[in-house]
Amino acid sequence: MSLVFTLASRNLFQDRLRFVATLIGIVFSVVLVMVQMGLYFGFGRMVTTMIDHAPADLWIVAKGAKSFEDLSLLDMQTRDKVLTINGVAGVTPVVIGFADWRLPEGSMTPVFVVGSDLKDDGLKPWHLVAGSLQALTPPGAVAVDRTYFDRLGVSGVGSTAEIRGHQVKVAAVTDGIRSFTTTPYVFTNLDYAGAYIGLPANKVSHFLVRLKPGADLDHVRQEIQSAVSGVQVLTPDQFKQKSRNYWLFGTGAGMALFAGALLGVIVGTVIVAQTLYSSTKDHLYEFATLRAIGCSNRYIYTVIILQALLNAVIGFLLAAIIGFAVVEFTARSALPIVISNDLMFGLFGLTVVMCIASALVAITRVVRTDPVMVMSR
Amino acid sequence: MNEPIVEARNVSKTLGTGAAKVKALKHIDLSLEGGKLTVLMGPSGSGKTTLLSVLGCMLAPSEGTVRICGSSTDGASRERLAKIRRDHIGFVFQSFHLFPTLTAAENIRLALDVRGERGARARTRAREVLTRVGLPHKIKAFPRDLSGGEQQRVAIGRAIVAEPSVILADEPTAALDGENGQAVMGILSAIAKEQNRAVLVVTHDTRLIGFADRILRIEDGALQPEEPNRSNVYQIRSSA
C-alpha cells in the first residue's frame, strides 16, 4: 500500500485538537443540512399526505386551487357531468374546511374537517388504532388522531365534543395523521361535514375520480377538462407537485429551508478549509521536503485530498448517527424530519465535495511552496 | 575517465529584486563524477547552498546550463525538474527533514513510494538500507525516538534508497556532535566509493576534509581554483 494514506491519516490524527475541531465543523454543517433537507422532505410529504391516501386516478379541483387545503368550491352537479364521460367508473366528492371544535369543558380549538364517502371510495382515515370505518356512518361520528387528544379534550372512542353547535362523538382513532398546519384533522361522513364547516348543500371542495379498468387516463382527463368549466383535472402526481410548490415555494418555507442548508454548506466548507489550510501550513516543511525529493504534484495533492476525504467520511458517519437520532426524536412530532436513502447518499456526496473543495485552498498553498525552503532550515 | 554526472557550465544566479538584488553565483563551471566525495566549503553567504540548490534542480540558474546525467535543466517545468530530482538526485539536509509521523523505515520507503515503488520489495529495500546506515534495530522508531545522528543516518538512507546517481548533502553534520559527524561522513564517503555515486557535501566543518576526494572552495559566489586534498593525497601516496 502506498504511504500516501499513512502520511495523510497520521498528519490528520497527529493534532487531535484540530482534528476534533474539524470534525465538529463537518458534523455541525452536515447535521444542519440534513435537518434542513429532512424538514424540506418531511414538509413535502406532509403537505401531500391526503392526496397520497386518496383512492383517486384523477382529482377535480377548483380552477386556481393550489393545494388540497384550498377552500375554493365546486358545484355538486359537476359529478353528474363527469359520470357521463366514457371511462369514468366513479366520482366521489370531498369537502374540507376549518371549523371550531368545542371541548367538553367549553373552550374552543380550530380543526380541519375532511368529509367524504366513508363507505365507498372516499378519502377515509387510515392507520386506525381504535374504532372502525363502519362506526363513522351514524350522524355525529368522527375520527381524530390520538396525538391531538389533549388539544381536542378527548380520551378515545366514545368521547364527545361539539363542532359548530353539533354534537360529535369520537368513533374511530387514528395514529400519525398529523397536519403541518398544526390544526387537527377531523374525518367525518360527507353527509355531515358540510354542516360542520358551514358549506352550502350543493357545494363540495374536490372530486375524486376513479377510472374504469383499461381507460386511457390522459384521454379521460382531457375529456373532463373539456366538459367541465372552471376546474382543474389533475393526476395525483400533478396535484402533489402543485401542493408542494405552493406550500414550499409559494410561502417561502422551502426557500428558507434551502437557505439554511446552504448556510450549513458554507459554514462547513469554511471550517474544513480553514483547518486543512492551517494543518497544511504546519506541515509545510514536510510538503517542501516531498517536493525536494522529487515528489510529483499529484502525489502531494493526493495526500491533501485524502486528508479531506478522511475528514469527510469520519465527519459524515458521526453526522449520520446524530441525524438518525434526530429522525427518531422527531418521528412523532408535528413535522417529522424525513431522511431517505437518496438524501443520505446525496449528503455524503455533498460532504465529500465540500471537503475536497476545502482542500483546494490548502493545495493552492502547497503549489506555491518552493522546495528550496528546506535548504534554508 | 568517468563521464560527469553533474555538469554546470558558466552558471550564474541572481537572487532578490531591486535594491536587494544579489548575484549569488558567478560563472560557475563544475563537474561531479561518480565514485568521488566532493566537499564544498566557504564562508557564510558565499553561495554554497545556492550552488547546491541549483545543482539539485531546486533553483533555476539565471545564466548558464546544468546537466544531470545528461539531461539539461534549461527551460524545464517544475514537474520536469521534480522528475530529474526523483530519478537522479538524493538529498541530505542539515535539519534532516524527516517526517515526524512516519517511522524510520517508512521515512526511507517514502523515497521509493514517490517513485511508485511499493509493496514487499520496497519494505525489504528500506530494511536493507537501514542496516546499511547502521540502524537495523530502529525500523519502527519514530524520529522523536532517535538521536540527531540516527536521524541523519535515516535521512541518508532516504537519499540513497532509490540509488540516485548523485547525493547532495547540505551541512549534513552541522546539527551533530563530532563523533556522529564523522560517522555520517564515513557513510557518505563509502556510498560514493562503493556505489560509484557522485557525492557533494556542503560544509563549514574543516574536520571533515579528511573524507573528501576533492575540495572546492567558494567565495562571493565564485569557485576558487581547486587544490588537491592533502589528506587524500597522503592516503593515495600511502596506498601506492
B58 closest CB neighbour out of A4, A14, A292: A292
Contact A161, A152 (CB under 8 A): yes
Q: Is B53 on the interface with A (CB under 8 A)?
A: yes
Instruction: Please state the ipTM of this predicted complex.
Output: 0.88
pLDDT score for A358: 85
Q: Does B73 touch chain A (CB under 8 A)?
A: no
Name the more confident of A14 and B140. Answer: B140
Domain ranges of chain B: 4-239
B60: nearest CA in chain A?
Answer: A372
Q: SS3 for chain A, per residue?
A: CCHHHHHHHHHHHHCHHHHHHHHHHHHHHHHHHHHHHHHHHHHHHHCCHHHHHCCCCEEEEECCCCCCCCCCCEECCHHHHHHCCCCEEEEEEEEEEEEEEECCCCCEEEEEEEEECCCCCCCCCCCEEEECCHHHCCCCEEEEEHHHHHHHCCCCCCCEEEECCEEEEEEEEECCCCCCCCCCEEEEEHHHHHHHHCCCCCEECEEEEEECCCCCHHHHHHHHHHHCCCEEEECHHHHHHHHHHHHHHHCCHHHHHHHHHHHHHHHHHHHHHHHHHHHHHHCHHHHHHHHHCCCCHHHHHHHHHHHHHHHHHHHHHHHHHHHHHHHHHHCCCCCCCCCCHHHHHHHHHHHHHHHHHHHHHHHHHHHCCCHHHHHHC
Best of A293, A299, A302, A376 to disrupt the B interface (most B CBs within 10 Å) is A293
Where residue A376 falls among pLDDT bands split at 50, 70, 90?
low
For the stretch A167-207, pLDDT in tens is 999 999 999 888 877 799 999 998 889 889 988 888 999 99
Q: Residues A85, A88, A92, CA angle at the centre, nearest 5°?
A: 110
A3 vs B102: CB contact, 8 Å cut-off? yes
Task: Report the topology of domain B4-239.
Answer: Rossmann fold (3.40.50)
Place of cell 533553483: B59
Query: Which pLDDT band, with edges at 50, 70 and 90, does B218 fall under?
Result: very high
Give which of A310, A375, A376, A377 to mutate to test B binding, by max B Cβ within 10 Å.
A375
- Closest Cα in chain A, distance from residue B68 (Å): 14
A374 contacts in chain B (CB < 8 Å): 91, 93, 95, 97
From chain B, pick out residues whose CB is under 8 angstroms from the CB of A4. 113
Q: Residue A106: pLDDT band by 50, 70, 90 thresholds?
A: confident
Whether residue A290 and residue B95 make contact (CB cut-off 8 A), yes or no, is: no
Mean per-residue pLDDT of chain B: 89
pLDDT band at residue B229 under the 50/70/90 scheme: low
**Contact between A293 and B100 using a beta-carbon 8 Å cutoff:** no
| Listed residue (A275, A271, A319, A253) closest to A47, CA to CA | A253
pLDDT digits (tens, 9 = 90+) for B39-59: 999 998 899 999 999 999 999
Is A243:A51 a contact under the CB 8 Å cutoff? yes
Q: CA-CA distance, A324 to A31, in Å (whole number)?
A: 10
